Structure formats: C-alpha cells, structure tokens
Amino acid sequence: MQLNIVNTPDRLEVQGQVVSREYAEGVMLAGLLAMAGKNDPKVTEIVRQYRDAGLSTAAFPVETRRAFTIFAREEQQEAKRTAEAAWFAERAKEQVLPTRLEVERKRAVKNAQNERIRRMGAETRAARGGGAWSSFPDFD
C-alpha cells in the first residue's frame, strides 16, 4: 500500500486529503493497521511511510515494535551484504594475475638473492680451506 503523505509545517496531506496531524496519527493509522492485520510486510510498509513523513506511530506500540524489529533485521542484512561485497572485491583484487614486468622484477630480485647466497657459500668454503675432508690431514 503506497501512501502519498506530504508533510509541510502548516498542513498534512494524505492521499490528497488535508488532515490534522492528530487524525493522521490516530484514526487514520488505526484504520490502516486494521486493514493490514497480521500481515507484517504491509504493517512494516505503513510504519516506514509514517516514519519517513515524520509522523509518530507510538499509539500502536506492538505494531511499531514489530516493524522496527524488521527494520533492524534488514539493516543487519544490508550491513552483512556490504561487508561481504567489500571482502569479495578485495579478494578479487588479490587474485589479479601479475603483469609480465612484475614477474620479471620478482624473478630478478630472486636471482640476485640466490646469487648472493651462492657467493657467500663459496667464500665460506674458501675460508675454511675448500670444505673437503682432505683439507684436514690429521683427521681420521
């Protein structure tokens, strides 16, 4: 049910009919909620439209509480969807294949590190006398 509520400082217009705030928040809301009955989506839509127009639904606390519970659940679901979308977007960024230039740079860094390690090993073996058992003649 789509209500056309226009709330201006000097008057309140609902469905083209000029009414007082008290009438809209009391009798009209009672009729709308009675028509909706136990149908939560309809009650929620009525409460949402009243809330968006700046009208109070405090005269009907049970229906208002049910509607606000549904609003809170919708907000939680939206927050969860937003968080999951951000997580998947970040994951997709991480899974992008690197460019050829990035691959070559990583390979050059890795080769330079391997060469430095080989050189250090050769220098260490040379400092110990070759690193062979034959360099220790007294050792049996």
The neighbouring-strand residues paired with 31 are none
How many Å apart are CA 63 and CA 33, to the nearest integer?
Answer: 8
Give the mean pLDDT of the chain. 87
Task: Say how many Å lie between the first and final Cα of the chain, rounded.
Answer: 100
The DSSP H or E segment spanning 64 is helix 61-94
CA atoms within 13 A on the CB side of 31: 5
Q: pLDDT of 15-42, one tens digit each?
A: 778 888 888 888 888 999 999 988 989 9
How many Å apart are CA 35 and CA 57, to the nearest integer?
Answer: 16
How many Å apart are CA 105 and CA 112, to the nearest integer?
Answer: 11
Give the pTM.
Answer: 0.58
Q: pLDDT of 78-112, one tens digit each?
A: 999 999 999 999 999 888 888 999 999 999 999 99
